[in-house]
Structure 1
Amino acid sequence: MSEGEKLVSIEDEMKSSYIDYSMSVIISRALPDVRDGLKPVHRRVLYGMYKLGIFSNSSYKKSARIVGEVLGKYHPHGDISVYDTMVRMAQEWTLRYPLIDGQGNFGSLDADPPAAMRYTEVRMKKISEEMLLDLKKNTVDIQLNFDDSLEEPVVLPTRIPNLLINGSSGIAVGMATNIPPHNIKETINAICAYIDNGNNLSIEQIMKYIKAPDFPTGGIIYGYEGVKNAFHTGRGRIILRAKAHLEEIQGRQCIIVDEIPYQVNKSDLITRTVELMKEGKMEGIYQIRDESDRNGLRIVYILKQNTHPKILLNKLFKYTSLQTYFNVNNIALVNGKPVKLNIKDLIQHFIDHRHDVIIRRSKYQLTKCKNRVHVLVGFLKILDHLDILIQMIKKSKNHGDACKTLIKEFKVSEIQSKSILDIRLQNLTSLELEKLKKEHDELIKKIDFFKKVLDQYHIRTKIIKEELLEIKKKYQDSRRTQIDYSGNKFNIEDLIENEQVVLTISHAGYIKRTSLSEYKRQGRGGIGNRGATAREYDFFKHLLIARNHQYLLLFTEKGKCFWLRVYEIPEGSKISKGRAIQNIIHLQQDDKVNAYILTGDLTNKEYVRNYYVMMVTQKGIIKKTPLENYSRPRKYGINAIVIRKGDSLLEAIKTKGDSHVFIAAKSGKIIRFSEKNVRSTGRASSGVIGIHLSDKNDIVIGMICVNVNVKEKGHLLVVSEKGFGKRSYLKDYRFTNRGGKGIKTINVTKKTGNLIAIKYVTDQDDLMIIKKSGIIIRISVSDIRVMGRTTQGVRLINLKKNDAIADVEKIYKPTGDPIL
């Protein structure tokens, strides 16, 4: 090591060098200044055009000319970086309020590259001139350029809140910024309200003016939580959706997309959708057409027949960039340091900058006015001595001698004397002299005004507000991005059509759901369709009509309750056997599902408080418990009822607390009493006697609860084991006390078999009847005769030898789902 050199730790040198590099990137390249919202390259592009005189009212100039000017004088980082910046500043789909007026090919929404800089032409937009106004009035600090040969502004004295209306994005070292654009009208209204309120407006109050970001490509902000987080903290995740509507084209339904989310590549969007079609994830799309032109964007999704448009659109939102996220991260340079800012901070810093600009501008104008007044005072001193003045000048040897003479004789300053000597003879007319006096008086008033501006804060805020309102009048426009306040994150229900389905549960515990459209209606006495392929020892025990979005409570014979969504049940065809319930819920091996309840949204507290669960066991024990007790599911189920020895849970029904209860036994007996006779108890109780079974071999086969407001417009349907059934009037069944033996509802014989099911039906309902062999028949209730209470009924379905009915379920036909 030679003399004068010293050892340096490589670790320390790396740290120091990396910090210097990172700060250079942060300050000189990647992050915008909070005052004018510009990065250095954007500022230099505008300043370069300003120096060249390329304003909005001038002719277009070649882009290469501006790039060369900026590159050679202010920004030595490569021509591509400068030209790409100019291109983005001219693209209407990139900036909410473009700063450059471009002529030629500046790219497209498909991410097509712009033409080379030698082909395109540019000039300033009118709104850009508002950012450079007053630049010559010493309003901002000036710094030397990279080689100290020229000067450039540190920041622009912008009149527009550019960072708020155009946003910014950039990746620095160890940090990034992603500030969304906002509507200029909303932004200026918020700033003016903030000023009017003494700079003490809360963020919630600001949000009454600035509703949300406003993106140049429009679209929809789906949900408001991300917007609130961004406004309050400076960080938030905003969900953006495309704007779409439905049209019918040549007999086919079509989804038309008019606006896509910000920063989405249209070409990539369509390509990705085609890939999903090939993968089988978008089976409902027949064809995609891009019909976009210079008048606007238009993507056409032509749908296949019988495709549900809303479900398909939700799938497009789920799997393609028709729905994206804008991750807000409001980081900008404040006094040369990166700071995370909320919406209030951004407004405050802009106002502070405007105060600083107005103070510096007023000082500049005050000095200029004082200097002019000083000159005019000199003029006014010699107005009455013009003849003497002329003689003195004529006698002077030269200009310097004349100045000295004037200073000595009229007691004027050197500046005043030079101005007097420079005055033209034509300005010595009485009219011109009167103008000088008037100018002097006006300047005195201006000086007084500028002093007040410098001394009084409220006058400056008034000027800021007036200038902002002028900007608003010039450039305001309507909001492009709509806001869907009710939107939230994706739910699986958005991708599943809420259609009616048939749920079947077999004796061996297999469950499935099948679209109701697979079952066609037949006449009474038909032989039915093949419903499923069951094992020899298995048969279908339960059949239920539901909708995909409903909740299903499953009750086991041991009194446990499990919680499922209908769409969570595996889908199967008519002939499939389904899936074992044990693989879906945590059911004990010696337990099985005996009852079920369809409900609405169990997370809705108001809904669950208005309903009860009525349960009955095979031994005739009945129990009523509030539905709210079953609204908080657990992985291994919850206890629904305490089952006594030798008994099992048979039926569970959702009620409103004022129903008429009908309990039927297989012997053909039925009892009717008011639900109010059954006291509501908790889950850990066993219940009370509902019907007294005199025969020890007799068991309860079903229960119905009829709403008291129905006024008995429907009928009581009973079906026997051998396929006989009938309807009878509810009035044929008298009220009795709970716990009675009941009265006869069907004449049970060897021909009819035991009673198997009871239902409350109307003429508008259909019936699904399933045999133990798996055959299902769908018939209309109106085809079944209304008969006396003690008759045996008519044959509903033909049964082969050794076959029997396993279950009966009705299909609701009125509009609006009655099972809620």
Structure 2
Amino acid sequence: MESQTEILKDLPLEDILGDRFGRYSKYIIQDRALPDARDGLKPVQRRILYAMHVEGNTADKGFRKAAKTVGNVIGNFHPHGDSSVYEAMVRMSQEWKMRNILIEMHGNNGSIDGDPPAAMRYTEARLSKISAELLRDIDKQTVDFIPNFDDTDQEPVVLPSRFPNLLVNGSTGISAGYATDIPPHNLGEIIDGVILRIENPHCTVDDLLKVIKGPDFPTGGIIQGFDGIKKAYETGKGKIIVRGKAEIESIRGGRKQIVITEIPYDVNKANLVKKIDEFRNDRKIEGISEVRDETDRTGLRIVIELKKDVDAQGILNFLYKNSDLQITYHFNMVAIHNRRPKLMNLPSLLDAYINHQKEVVKRRTKFDLKKAEERLHIVQGLIKAISILDEVIATIRKSKDKRDAKNNLMNRYEFTEPQSEAIVSLQLYRLTNTDITALKKEETELKKKINQLTKILSNEKQLLKVITQELNGIRKTYADDRKTTIEEKVEELKIGLEVLVPNEDVIVTVTKGGYIKRTTIRSYNASGWEEFGLKEDDRILASYEMTTIDVLLLFTNKGNYLYFPVHHIPEIRWKDVGQHVAGMIPIERDEQIVSAIPVKDFSSSQYLLFVTKNGLIKKTELSQYKAQRHSKPLIAINLKEDELLEVHLTSGREDLFLASYFGYGLRFNIDEINPIGVRAAGVKGINLKEGDFVVGGKFIRDKQSSLIVVSQRGAVKRMALDQFERMSRAKRGVVMFRELKNHAHRLVGFVFGKESDQVIIETDKKHQEIIPVDTLRLNDRYSNGSFFVDEKEDGTVIAIHKILTGPTKPNEEKDE
């Protein structure tokens, strides 16, 4: 025995890998994952359909076990795993995946919920009626055949495909370096598009869009974005929005429910229902009470029952935005064209199909012509034989055998070989007199047919006419109405805050030191007002009863504002200290909160009024302070070497009272101030002497209130409001302390208070004095009031404020 010599080659690894992966990629691309531009089928699908056709497993016969077909496909054409063949077979039978199913299946063939099909030993299948159109005339040499994997049989390279299957049923696949996503379309529309392209080969995408409106998914739904369709048809790539079909219905007790009857293509219904129910469970969305899948044999139906008085449209918009009830479908129309993967637009896909049809019809016509000519030759021979029947019979009787008989006929009467064969094979009963008329009739029909077939082959117009007629026939038989609706524009989804946030009543508090928190009503009631968690030397600046869907605006002395949706404010117990605003929105070290404004509705016709230390006032529409992004401080007023003192919410027609350090008070109506923009600085509110500055500005909202002022020396004075007549802005105002030559009283603060209120004054030595308002008698403007603190012992007074006795409801508009 001769010894075999091993040949070892020393090659770089990258060359080996590159070569092997290149070959593998070529196989994956051409022979597995991508559809052919002509018949729209991947090799495994083509082999399944062809194998079923060969076995006679067609729509006009009974169903056969799927396992038999799978075994047949594997054994004859597709030497791969049985699961890959069966899965491909099942997909072609699923009416929620295919616009026109190619295989009919008995038994469980999976579901839109992603359930697996029954095993192939349980299911039965056959070709659908429309599949016959893909395979029609395959026996007439219309397409090329190649040897199968083991050279025992022949398989078609492509199917004749009498309708444009690639666009009708779409395709999806991932190969090495290429992926494809071609959506399904309406059969009638695509055939109209093909016919339009045949009649006008130079038609544009705009022309085609008049008949091909866009994809038509088997699951229905709504497509939004005409521009996306157009771009995809022009370039082969593009995206569209596909949303389910949902309606809002009213049910018992004034409640509503969202009913979904169609979902986007390729979306798993069970997962969608589960996701919607998770929104309800995790409280990511408020207002859903129950989610039910009521799908049955009559059709798809998902019911989302809503709570009373909720924004049903807002909830539906949330579902569109955050679940697969609305998806983005990306066109990527890659197909195998001339044995190569190619990104194709709509006209080139139609052209590829039309050229394929030309080839198929041409080859079929040649086949039919050849058959007709052969038959005519035979018929003419039989006619001639019958006309000299006695001589022919005599000649045959004298012959030794069949071969000799044929030779004698050919030599004596000039019959050809095929004619002689037909004569000697003729059955005796055919030799009746009546038969000659039938043969003459057949001869006439054959000549007519040959004439027609020759015309088709010699005239391209006739060829295209045949293709058009056949397509119209298929359209008439199989086309149905559109399932998917197309809307030109993509709807902008608006979702109200109340959809996302549970609408709860809470108490929001802000302290002078900048600590903020929201507290549940339960926590507040359990503790009581006095047990409020507060740091030493801090005090409550504002406390409001609000809801979680409101907004709190905090204004700082530097003219900035912080935008806090209430549901973003940390929930902290009433007894505990809140969280500092700087931990949520970065503010400067020396920046202080001066006012807190609760807002329920930014669209209301209200204004914000700003008061600065230099006596400027500004009125701006509240709506201008609605912010989309609120992670940093926003500009509220343009301050030029100034300081913001107070901000108030107003209807714009109230009396404002400004007080200055030198003791001047000015009352005027803000109706005379025009509204200005957010970044403006404001107008002069009070005319100040040199060295003077404003200490505060408040609205006179309660005529029962009186004015309480305090000086730095600790003198507190109460005055009736009628001592201050309404003036116009930018005046100096009237004096509120009697002028003293030595150590004059300087006003450090004021409040409006009723007799039932209490005020507190603070000194720089941290001394505090609580004063009930009803203990202060009314003074005139020229007195200096009563002393409540000793300046030398207790320190200089720096502030006065009203003692809060509980949370304020924003619409009560209490003044400090």
TM-score when normalising by structure 2: 0.70
Amino acid across the alignment from 2:639: I
Task: Give yes or no for contact 2:529–2:806 (8 Å, CA) kept in 1.
Answer: no
Whether 2:92 is the aligned partner of 1:89: answer: yes
Alpha-carbon separation, structure 2, partners of 1:321 and 1:634: 29
Is 1:446 equivalent to 2:446 in the alignment? no
Tell me the residue number matched to 1:5.
7
Distance in 1 (alpha carbons) for counterparts of 2:135 and 2:70: 19
Q: Indicate whether 1:589 and 2:593 are aligned.
A: no
Deviation at 1:466, TM superposition (A): 3.8
| Cα drift, residue 533 of structure 1 | 5.1
Match of 2:362 among 356, 359, 364: 359
Question: Against the structure 1 CA distance between its residues 469 and 250, is the aligned structure 2 distance closer, same or farther, given a 3 Å change threshold?
Answer: same
8 Å CA contact 1:619, 1:699 repeated in 2: no
Rate the CA distance shift 1:586–1:154 in 2: closer, same or farther, 3 A: same
| Correspondence for 1:138 among 118, 138, 141 | 141
State the 1:143 CA deviation. 1.0
Query: How many angstroms apart in 2 are the aligned matches of 1:324 and 1:182?
Result: 18
The 5 Å alignment of 1:61-460 reads: 61-202=64-205, 206-207=208-209, 209-219=211-221, 230-231=232-233, 233-235=235-237, 243-245=245-247, 256-267=259-270, 289-299=292-302, 328-372=331-375, 387=387, 390-391=390-391, 394-395=394-395, 397=399, 398-407=405-414, 424-426=430-432, 431-432=437-438, 435-436=441-442, 438-440=444-446, 442-443=448-449, 445-452=451-458, 454-456=459-461, 459-460=462-463
State the shift of 1:151 in Å: 1.2
Contact 2:509 2:518 in 1 (8 A): yes
* Residues in 2 aligned to 1:330 and 1:117: alpha-carbon distance in whole angstroms: 32
Shift of residue 166, structure 1, vs aligned partner: 2.0
Structure 1 position 643 matched with structure 2 position 601: no
Cα distance between partner residues in 2 of 1:366 and 1:322: 55
Taking the TM superposition and a 5 Å limit, the aligned residue runs for 1:754-793 are none
One-letter amino acid matched to 1:147: D
How far apart are residue 477 of structure 1 and its match?
3.2
Structural mapping, 1:298-697, within 5 Å: 298-299=301-302, 328-372=331-375, 387=387, 390-391=390-391, 394-395=394-395, 397=399, 398-407=405-414, 424-426=430-432, 431-432=437-438, 435-436=441-442, 438-440=444-446, 442-443=448-449, 445-452=451-458, 454-456=459-461, 459-481=462-484, 485-487=489-491, 496-497=500-501, 505-511=510-516, 534-535=534-535, 537-541=537-541, 556-560=556-560, 570=570, 579-594=579-594, 617-622=612-617, 641-645=637-641, 647-648=643-644, 650-651=646-647, 663-665=656-658, 667=665, 669-674=667-672, 683=679, 686-692=681-687, 696=692
Aligned to 1:764: none
1:818 corresponds in structure 2 to none
Amino acid paired to 1:295: T
Distance 1:89-1:622 versus aligned 2 partners, 3 A rule: same
Report deviation, 1:573.
8.0
Secondary structure of the residue that 1:90 maps to in structure 2?
A: coil
Q: Show the counterpart of 1:761.
A: none
Q: Report the alpha carbon displacement of residue 592 of structure 1 after superposing the two structures with TM.
A: 3.4
**Retained in 2: the 8 A contact 1:166–1:182?**
yes
In the alignment, is the contact (CA less than 8 A) between 1:499 and 1:515 conserved in 2? no
Q: By how many angstroms is 1:156 displaced?
A: 0.7
Contact 1:427/1:433 (CA < 8 Å) preserved in 2? no
How big is the shift at 1:494? Answer: 9.2
Q: Is the 8 A contact 2:287 2:499 kept in 1?
A: no
Residues 210, 401 of structure 1: alpha-carbon distance in 2 compared, 3 angstrom cutoff: same
| Residues 575 and 234 of structure 1: CA distance in aligned 2, closer, same or farther (over 3 Å) | farther
Residue aligning to 2:745: none
Q: Deviations over 1:687-735 (max 9, x none)?
A: 432454689575562589xxxxxxxxxx99997778xxxxx9xxxx99x
Cα gap change, 1:196/1:638 in structure 2, threshold over 3 Å: closer, same or farther? farther
2: CA distance, partners of 1:592 / 1:639: 14
Match of 1:30 in 2: 33
Q: What do residues 603-654 of structure 1 show as CA deviations (whole Å, max 9, x unaligned)?
A: xxxx9xx999985535442458899999897976565544344542644889
SS at match of 2:366: helix
The answer to whether the Cα contact below 8 Å between 2:285 and 2:499 also exists between their aligned partners in 1 is: no
Task: Tell me the secondary structure at the aligned position of residue 122 of structure 1.
Answer: strand
Which segment is superposed worse, 125-134 or 536-545?
A: 536-545
Please state how far the C-alpha of 1:422 moved relative to its aligned partner: 7.0
Q: How many residues are treated as equivalent by the alignment?
A: 720
Distance 1:487 1:167 in 2: 26
Mapping of residues 717-732 of structure 1, within 5 Å: none
Q: State the shift of 1:590 in Å.
A: 1.9
Distance in 2 separating the partners of 1:199 and 1:718: 86
Taking the aligned partners of 1:531 and 1:230, their CA distance within structure 2 comes to 66
Q: Which residue identity does 1:580 align to in structure 2?
A: H
CA distance in structure 2 between the aligned counterparts of 1:187 and 1:248, rounded to whole angstroms: 40
- CA apart distance, 1:472: 3.0
Preserved contact between residue 620 and residue 699 of structure 1 (Cα < 8 Å): no
2:697 aligned residue (690, 698, 701)? 701
Structure 2: gaps spanning 5 or more residues: 400-404, 660-664, 709-720, 736-748, 762-800
Q: Is the 8 A contact 1:34 1:349 kept in 2?
A: yes
Change in Cα spacing, 1:250 to 1:144, as seen in structure 2 (3 Å) is: same
> How far did residue 199 of structure 1 move?
4.1
User: Which runs of 5 or more structure 1 residues have no equivalent in the other structure?
Assistant: 521-527, 705-714, 723-727, 745-752, 758-768, 774-800, 813-820
Report if the CA contact (8 A) 2:685-2:729 is conserved.
yes
CA distance in 1, matches of 2:172, 2:601: 42
Counterpart of 2:589, as a letter, is Q
For residues 274-310 of structure 1, the C-alpha deviation after alignment (integer angstroms, 9 at most, x for no partner) is 7777767678766655544333344555667887766
**CA distance change for structure 1 residues 394 and 212 in 2, over 3 Å: closer, same or farther?**
same
Q: 1:552 to 1:293 in 2, by over 3 A?
A: same
- CA–CA separation in structure 1 for the residues paired with 2:233 and 2:572: 48
The one of 691, 710, 730 equivalent to 1:739 is 730
Query: SS state of the match for residue 669, structure 1?
Result: strand
Counterpart amino acid of residue 441 in structure 2:
K
TM-score (norm: length of structure 1)? 0.70
DSSP 3-state at the match of 1:358: helix
SS, match of residue 339 in structure 1: strand
Amino acid at match of 1:803: I
